[in-house]
Amino acid sequence: MKFTRRDTMAIGGATALTTILPSLSSAAIPVDELVMGVTGGADAASTGISLTAPEIAENGNTVPISVDAPGAVAITVLAAGNPLPGVATFNFGSGSASQSATTRIRLAGTQDVIAVAEMADGSFASVHQTVKVTIGGCGG
């Protein structure tokens, strides 16, 4: 088997891809670890909270997200792959009509977005979703 220059470049490219991709994703903090950081080590239920985020975000600068956790006193949003994972904590007071909120967030790249709710009884619930962030065509 003879390797042309083009083949060699392609192998290099393919190898680089397979080696870079896992290392990129491992740079993000594991979802469980982030959730535990909010709950103080307590387990979080997987029901009772919902997160609405686009599957693919057209621009990482402005990604619309909504969280909803009936009966929660607070909901914390985290972005596992950002330089700093903290995004926001919504604390709901007596004047709130639902324990839900919508905002727009920054995502440095494709990553998991996590929401952790603290319920009135002190228990926790969490949910996470991967949001793909695309690279623009012509930045200008």
Partner 1 sequence: MKLKKLITAVVGTIAIPFASIAGEDSQLSIDGQLMVTRVAAPAHMENVDEIFSGWVFRTDETQALQMDDFDNPAFVFIDKAIDTFNKVDGTAGKACVSCHESPEVFKGLRASMPRVNSSGELETIPELVNGCRTERMGAEKWKWSSGSMAGIVGLIGLQSRGMMVDVAIDGPASSMWEKGKELYYTRVGQLNMSCSNCHEDNYGNMIRADHLSMGQINGFPTYRLKNAKLNTIHGRFKGCMKNIRATPYKEGGDEFKALELYVASRSNGLTVETPSVRN
Partner 2 sequence: MAKGVKPRVKVPKTAAAGEIVTLKTLISHKMESGQRKDKDGNKIPQSIIHRFTCAFNGNVVIDVKMAAAISTNPYFSFDAVVPEAGEFHFTWYDDDGSIYETKKSVKIA
Which residues of the chain form contacts with partner 1 (CB under 8 A)? 1, 7, 10-11, 13-14, 17, 54, 56-59, 61-64, 134-140
| Residue 27 Cβ vs partner 1, minimum distance, rounded to whole Å | 20
CB contact at 8 A, 86 and 136: no
Q: Does 82 bind partner 2 (CB under 8 A)?
A: yes
Structural element, H or E, at residue 33: helix 31-39
CB contact at 8 A, 65 and 129: no
Q: Does 72 bind partner 2 (CB under 8 A)?
A: no
- Do the bridges between strand 111-119 and strand 72-79 make them parallel or antiparallel, or are there none, so unpaired? antiparallel
Residues between 103 and 122 with contacts to partner 2, criterion CB under 8 A: 103-107
Q: Considering CB under 8 A, how many residues would be counted as binding partner 2?
A: 28
CB contact at 8 A, 133 and 60: yes
The residues of the shown chain that bind partner 2, judged by CB under 8 A, are 61-63, 79, 82-84, 86-98, 100-107
